[in-house]
Amino acid sequence: MLISTGCLLPPTTYISLSLNDRQVIITKMEGQFRNRTPRPPPINSFSQHCPLRKTVGIRIESRETLIPIMSTVLSIDTQREGAEIYHGEEMCTKKSMELLELVHLPRGLLPLPELEEVGYNRETGFVWLKQKKGTNHTFKKIGRQVSYAPEVTAFVEDRRMKKITGVKSKELLIWVTLTDMYIDDPASGKITFKTPTGLFRSFPVSAFEPEGENEKKGKEERKN
User: Percent of the chain having pLDDT more than 70?
Assistant: 61
pLDDT at residue 193 greater than cutoff 60: yes
The pLDDT value given to residue 36: 44
Minimum mean pLDDT range among 38-52, 53-67, 191-205: 53-67
pLDDT at residue 185 greater than cutoff 60: yes
Phi, psi for residue 118 in degrees, rounded to 5: -130, 130
Which residue, 79, 95, 127, sits at the end of a domain?
79
Quick one: 51 and 150 in the same domain? no
pTM of the predicted structure, to 2 decimals = 0.65
Burial class (CB in 10 A: 0-12, 13-18, 19+), 13: middle
Quick one: 117 and 171 in the same domain? yes
Which residue, 19, 49, 79, sits at the end of a domain?
79
In a domain, 10, yes or no: yes
The pLDDT value given to residue 211: 75
What b-and-e string marks burial along 59-75, b requiring 16 or more CB atoms within 10 Å of the CB? beeeeeeeeeebbbbbb
In a domain, 72, yes or no: yes
